[in-house]
Amino acid sequence: MLKQNYLNLILSGAALSAILLGAYWLNQPDAVAPQNGTCQLHHSDCRFEIAGRVGQISVLPRPVPIEEPLAITLQLPEGSRLLSGYIEGINMYMGKIPVIVEQAEGRTVRAVSFLGSCSEPQMQWRLVLQLQDANENKVTQSWAFITRL
């Protein structure tokens, strides 16, 4: 009887460990290539390159608002397209906040997102876009920005 209880205790501990490890792994941010240069979206528009072709991204208004719509305008490099996008917190986990495309016309994409408030007086964020180049290769680009309470 004692041996059975000991075995049940070990199996329960192993199952709990597997569940906790899985939850930890699922909540890790995706591996994202570092942003190009030091451009920060809360200061200015940012240029980026995909397969040698230049694009540009901007967020408005500035300073970047909290709990208000955030307009994102993307001028894609020739032959590229936006697959998906999200914003994530850098200094505090805030989940993955979707970037929602409102209009795509030619190389210009207009999207919107909405940042929630948190207890940090200065929140650091990362805008991550999954793009596809003219050769159908998937490319990840990211840009940092901050908000202040």
pLDDT at res. 13: 59
Predicted TM-score (pTM) of this structure: 0.74
pLDDT at res. 117: 87
pLDDT at res. 86: 98
pLDDT at res. 1: 63
Can you say how many angstroms the Cα of residue 59 is from the centroid of all Cα atoms in its chain?
A: 14
pLDDT at res. 4: 73
pLDDT at res. 36: 52
How many separate helices (H) and strands (E) can be counted in the chain?
Answer: 1, 9
CA pair distance 81, 79, nearest whole angstrom = 7
Cα within 13 Å of Cα(145), Cβ side: 26
Selection from 34, 126, 135 nearest residue 77 by Cα: 135
pLDDT tens string, the chain, 149 residues long: the values are: 667 776 666 766 555 555 544 444 444 444 334 445 578 888 899 999 999 999 999 999 999 989 999 999 999 999 999 999 999 999 999 999 999 999 999 999 999 999 988 888 999 999 999 999 999 999 999 999 999 98
